[in-house]
Amino acid sequence: MKRILLAVVATAAIVLVVHGCARRTGEESVQIKGSDTMVNLGQAWAEAYTKEHPDVNIGVTGGGSGTGIAALINNDTDIAQASRKIKGEELKQAEAKGMDVREFTVARDGLSVIVNPANPVGKLTINQLSDIYTGKTTNWKQVGGEDEKIVVLSRDKSSGSHVFFLEHVLREGDANGTEEYGKPVLMLLSSQTIAHEVAENPGAIGYVGMGYVDEARHKALAVAANQTSPYVEPTPANVVNGTYPIARPLYFYTPSKPEGTVKDFVDFVLSDDGQRIVAQMYFVPISSGP
Amino acid sequence: MAGKRRRITEVAVESVIRLSGLAAVIFVILIFLLLLRDGLPVFRYTGVTEFLFGRDWFPLSGKFGILPLILGSLLVTAGAVVIAVPLGTAVSVYIAEVASAPVKEVLKPAVETLAAIPSVVIGFIGFVVLAPYVKQIFDLPTGLTAFTGSLMLAFMALPTIVSIAEDAITAVPLGYRAASLALGATRWQTIRRVVVPAARSGIFAGVMLGLGRVIGETMTVLMVTGNAAVIPHAIFQPVRTMTATIAAEMGETVHDSAHYFSLFAIGLVLFVMTFFINVAAGIALRRTGGRR
């Protein structure tokens, strides 16, 4: 009996100590969670904002858009960053908790399709890209290159880019499309690993955010929406004027209409100062958009 | 009075220790229950056979066949074992039987230090340094293959195998060696015919524990195996392992969706596999007389 009592007391003591340590008091804090694509951008905004508001604490974490939105639904974050739109299923879960989820487009991101500089191919249509990524086209000579096997690189499923590329390139924007990434497609961990592999491998093709393209090590392909439209280079200007076909918006989600510090921060992000940071981080600002 | 106080201290210490011991077991059980809770619901969306033996892993489109992932994990693990077991045994024989005392003093801690290198670092080395060589030497389209993963994982299993196997070899009674040498056997014959067979269950236990580490390793394989969910036909081809799948996809799933449940179900399959490996290792260890 005494032993059990002691065990209970010891457990209670541990719980109390841990609980006490975890409690924080004082200054205001904003939690931002979500897309890995946007972590550095979010961090840059947070740094600029807290420089002006030293009393505010902003914590930015990655984990993926899905993680961010799940955290939003579980009330674990004030803002979810997402490189894809919130899904119907997730919206339903949020509504079930009485949330009134708000969406803000905070930046744009153009995906560059890159190949090794030694590769003679300089442009492709969306349709050709789709055939390469679904595995129908397997040799560079089928698209005007040399007789060499294509090593197809993609981001993994935890990436908003993966889903965006699937929907807008592989399925060519057809919501009922059933195309899938070919099974031999290599799923790499990050944009950085794709950039590295393309620079090393003359047969490789991959897609990365525009900020990852290094002219000395990669060649970014000009892309045409279809056979009759012009080939467009992935430049910020072409993303802004809407001619580059593989560009996507980046979002903030809040559980309700933002108030107080959160509202102030969102306003800052959407302001000219906030959008200047977007350009500095190699994304495309929305303010100059169409 | 003093006796009573001592008794209280005794009981207190005893119960704290007991609690710590129980905590480990309780955590394992809780983790298992969590995996069951979040993994089993996937079978509302797909059949058990379809899940375990399906060849298509397209979770975003509702196809949950994990056969390519299971085979990917097994292939990488098997490759690592083929590399690590002979190497590990050789290293432990060298340390235990051949090396002079000063060499031994340096070598054993050095091998054990290998275990302290974070897996992300090993993965990075594999991706940046090893993969280009693998591509070049074997003339492959890409160096991100199961073989690259096996090679890196073999290095990660080595410390576990060497540490336990070396203990087992050292524990072989001196009389065995003396008897063998007295019969006119050479040193090599003694090692091969007497010492290693006598220590074999200890070596086996080391191998099994190393195996447990290898099959559960995530970061390294995620970085070097290419993660293509194909049914592997050769070791020089990209594969996708179960652990890499969970790590790579958990971030983006909608919570409580079929995809989310399927990732936990993969975790469950993996848990069951490593559980049996550990049980086998435990049995082997007990056969050596419980020595570690």
CA neighbours closer than 13 Å in the CB half-sphere of residue B245: 32
For chain B, what is the mean pLDDT?
90
By C-alpha distance, the chain B residue nearest A149 is B141
Closest by Cβ to B248, choosing from A149, A158, A180: A158
Backbone angles phi, psi at A160, to 5 degrees: -60, -30
Helix axes of B67-93 and B200-216: crossing angle, nearest 10 degrees: 140
Please name the residues between 240 and 279 in chain A that touch chain B, using a CB distance below 8 Å: none
CB B225 within 8 A of CB A40: no
Instruction: Answer yes or no: is pLDDT of B210 > 50.
Output: yes
Closest by Cβ to A201, choosing from B16, B142, B227: B142
Closest by Cβ to B227, choosing from A6, A180, A186: A186
> Distances in Å between the alpha carbon of A113 and those of A185, A276, B159, B271, B286?
15, 25, 42, 39, 57
Q: What is the pLDDT of residue B248?
A: 85
Backbone angles phi, psi at A143, to 5 degrees: -120, 25
Structure tokens belonging to residue A176: 């009922």
Stretch B184-197: mean pLDDT: 92
Interface residues from chain B to A (CB-CB < 8 Å) = 11-12, 14-16, 18-19, 58-61, 68, 127-128, 132, 135, 141-142, 144, 222-223, 226-230, 238, 240, 248-257
Stretch B242-266: mean pLDDT: 88
Which residues does chain A have with pLDDT short of 50? 20-25, 289-290
Instruction: Answer yes or no: is pLDDT of B39 > 70.
Output: yes
Q: What is the pLDDT of residue B61?
A: 83
User: Cβ separation of A201 and B223 shorter than 8 Å?
Assistant: no
Q: What distance in Å separates the CA atoms of residue A168 and residue A148, rounded to the nearest whole number?
A: 26
By C-alpha distance, the chain A residue nearest B222 is A189
Q: What distance in Å separates the CA atoms of residue A150 and residue A119, rounded to the nearest whole number?
A: 11
ipTM for the assembly = 0.75
> Distances in Å between the alpha carbon of A48 and those of A29, A105, A240, B200?
15, 19, 24, 62
Q: Between A and B, how many CB-CB pairs are < 8 A?
A: 106
Calculate ∠ Cα A156-A159-A165, nearest 5°: 85
pLDDT 10s digits, A254-264: 999 999 999 99
Q: Which residues contact A171 (CB under 8 A, 6 or more apart)?
A: A130, A177, A178, A179
With contacts defined as CB-CB under 8 Å, which chain A residues touch B254?
66, 69-70, 87, 89-90
Task: Name the residue type at position B192.
Answer: R
> Distances in Å between the alpha carbon of A81 and those of A124, A217, A249?
31, 30, 11
Of the pLDDT bands very low, low, confident and very high (cuts 50, 70, 90), residue B37 is very high
With contacts defined as CB-CB under 8 Å, which chain A residues touch B230?
183-184
Closest by CA position to B144, among listed B71, B226, B228? B226
Tell me which of A116, A156, A167 to substitute to probe the interface with B (most B C-beta atoms closer than 10 Å).
A156
Tell me which of A6, A97, A150 to substitute to probe the interface with B (most B C-beta atoms closer than 10 Å).
A6
Q: Which residues contact B258 (CB under 8 A, 6 or more apart)?
A: B42, B44, B45, B46, B59, B62, B64
DSSP 8-state symbol, B226:
B
Tell me whether residue B191 is exposed, middle or buried, using C-beta atoms within 10 angstroms of its C-beta: 0 to 12, 13 to 18, 19 or more.
buried
Q: What distance in Å separates the CA atoms of residue B113 and residue A181, rounded to the nearest whole number?
A: 41
DSSP 8-state symbol, B129:
I
Q: What is the pLDDT of residue A8?
A: 59
Of the pLDDT bands very low, low, confident and very high (cuts 50, 70, 90), residue B281 is confident
Stretch B148-168: mean pLDDT: 93
Q: Burial code of B245-255, b = ≥16 C-beta within 10 A, e = fewer? A: bbbbbbbbbbb
Stretch B74-78: mean pLDDT: 94
The H or E element that residue B35 is part of is helix B2-39
How does strand A222-224 pair with strand A123-125?
parallel
Q: What is the pLDDT of residue A241?
A: 83
Question: Does the pTM of the predicted model rise above 0.80?
Answer: no
Q: Is B63 helix (H, G, I), strand (E, B) or coil?
A: strand
With contacts defined as CB-CB under 8 Å, which chain A residues touch B62?
none
How does strand A186-188 pair with strand A56-63?
unpaired
Q: What is the pLDDT of residue A13?
A: 59
pLDDT 10s digits, A154-194: 988 867 788 889 999 999 888 888 899 999 999 998 888 89
Q: What is the pLDDT of residue A255?
A: 94
The H or E element that residue B88 is part of is helix B67-93
The H or E element that residue B276 is part of is helix B258-287
Q: What is the CA radius of gyration of chain B?
A: 23
Q: What distance in Å separates the CA atoms of residue A259 and residue A266, rounded to the nearest whole number?
A: 10
With contacts defined as CB-CB under 8 Å, which chain A residues touch B11?
2-3, 6
User: Cβ separation of A156 and B248 shorter than 8 Å?
Assistant: yes
Q: What is the pLDDT of residue A16?
A: 53
Neighbouring CB atoms inside 10 A of B159's CB total 23
Q: How many residues does chain A have?
A: 290
Q: What distance in Å separates the CA atoms of residue A64 and residue A24, rounded to the nearest whole number?
A: 27
With contacts defined as CB-CB under 8 Å, which chain B residues touch A166?
60
CB B189 within 8 A of CB B161: no
Please name the residues between 192 and 251 in chain A that touch chain B, using a CB distance below 8 Å: 193, 196-197, 200-201, 203-204
| Alpha-carbon gap: B168 to the closest alpha carbon of chain A (Å) | 38
Instruction: Answer yes or no: is pLDDT of B252 > 80.
Output: no
With contacts defined as CB-CB under 8 Å, which chain B residues touch A73?
255
| Alpha-carbon gap: B213 to the closest alpha carbon of chain A (Å) | 21
3-state secondary structure chain A: CHHHHHHHHHHHHHHHHHHHHHCCCCCEEEEEEECCCCHHHHHHHHHHHHHHCCCEEEEEEEECHHHHHHHHHCCCCCEEEECCCCCHHHHHHHHHCCCCCEEEEEEEEEEEEEECCCCCCCEEEHHHHHHHHHCCCCEHHHHCCCCCECEEEEECCCCHHHHHHHHHHHCCCCCCCCCCCCCCCEEECCHHHHHHHHHHCCCEEEEEEHHHCCCCCCEECEEECCCCCCCECCCHHHHHCCCCCCEEEEEEEECCCCCHHHHHHHHHHHCHHHHHHHHHCCCECCCCCC
CB B46 within 8 A of CB B257: no
Of the pLDDT bands very low, low, confident and very high (cuts 50, 70, 90), residue B291 is very low
